[in-house]
Amino acid sequence: MEALAAGLPVICHGIGGMSSAIDESCGFKIPLVDRQISILQFADAISRLVTSPDLLNRLSEGALRRAKALSWDELVRKIARAYDDIPLVDAA
């Protein structure tokens, strides 16, 4: 989350907590198959970021948007909206 908030695209395995936070707008999820495939795919993702400034910029902007969408402030807003949508029941 700290990387996203700093506008840094994330490269991670597609498992665990980061798997649900990262999508194609903000980084790369590498499938966990075996060590060699992971190494090759991580290297490929890094190479793509280094050689494509447009991709880096797009993912950096996406990282900032994703961090905002996953922030505590946004979570509180979603919960508040859910409570606002609950119909009031007259207790009388």
- Asked whether residue 73 is domain-assigned, the answer is yes
- Asked whether residue 69 is domain-assigned, the answer is yes
For the segment 32-66, what is each residue's pLDDT rounded down to a tens digit? 999 999 999 999 999 999 999 999 999 999 999 99
Q: Count CB-CB contacts under 10 A for residue 5.
A: 14
Q: Is the dihedral of CA 32, 33, 37, 39 positive or negative?
A: positive
Are the C-beta atoms of residues 45 and 8 closer than 8 Å to each other? no
Half-sphere exposure of 13 (CA within 13 A, CB side): 9
pLDDT of res. 57: 98
The count of domains in the chain is: 1
- Asked whether residue 92 is domain-assigned, the answer is no
- Asked whether residue 52 is domain-assigned, the answer is yes
- Asked whether residue 62 is domain-assigned, the answer is yes
Average pLDDT over residues 71-88: 85
What CATH number corresponds to the domain at position 32?
3.40.50.2000
pLDDT of res. 32: 92
Range of the domain at 41: 2-84
- Asked whether residue 65 is domain-assigned, the answer is yes
In order of 41, 46, 69, the CA distances from 52 in angstroms are 16, 10, 26
pLDDT of res. 17: 79
- Asked whether residue 25 is domain-assigned, the answer is yes
- Asked whether residue 91 is domain-assigned, the answer is no
